[in-house]
Amino acid sequence: MRQSKEPKEGDFITIKSYKHDGSLHRTWRDTMVLKTSENALIGCNDHTLVTEADGRRWVTREPALVYFHKHYWFNIITMIRDNGISYYCNLASPAVLDREALKYIDYDLDVKVFPSGEKKLLDVDEYQLHGAQWHYSTEIDRILKHNVLTLVDWIEHKKGPFSQEYVDIWYSRYLELSRQEQ
């Protein structure tokens, strides 16, 4: 996750997701960086402007911790809502951070985890459609299926972003940094 001028805690970065064909999929402006390390980046989106590929714009509704790792083919969004914690996990290429943004390729499949703990695999039809359209290799298919299993294991064992301790630590840090910004 290293770059020439690594963002520091409290800095803001842009996140860009692309599709396999190289087209821009979605952009998040002003994600606050909470932690960077050699392998990972943790940030927070809170009322963050999101721009879709078709130009449509919207603003995130609640605080969401974001977790990107340079070795895993997924990223994790922890949505902190009044009715509990929800997770949205994108199956995606490992993130790369450059001067412009943190970037990754979105591979359509998503795992949603509800506050009750129920898990749901989403967008299988989109994955199959794009896989045929853009010729996802058998290697990418194998990697993504393996990473779904890793992700489900993390969810079931409340590992990393799925632990209450992680949410408490990083959301508290976000609130602390936000107060300093004002």
CATH superfamily of 9-158: FomD-like (2.40.380.10)
31 and 103 Cβ atoms separated by less than 8 Å: no
What are the extents of the domains in the chain? Answer: 9-158
Active-site residue among 2, 26, 56, 81? Answer: 26
Told to judge if 57 belongs to the known catalytic residues of this protein, a careful annotator would answer no
- Residue 148 pLDDT: 96
User: Residues near 65 by Cβ (< 8 Å), separated by ≥ 6?
Assistant: 34, 42, 43, 44, 77, 78, 80, 161, 166, 167, 170, 171, 174
**In the chain, which stretches have pLDDT less than 70?**
1-4, 182
- Residue 28 pLDDT: 98
Reported as a single tens digit per residue, the pLDDT across 130-177 is 999 999 999 999 999 999 999 999 999 999 999 999 999 999 999 999
- Residue 6 pLDDT: 85
Percent helix, strand, coil in the chain (nearest 5)? Answer: 30, 40, 30
- Residue 1 pLDDT: 60
Q: What is the DSSP letter of 164?
A: H
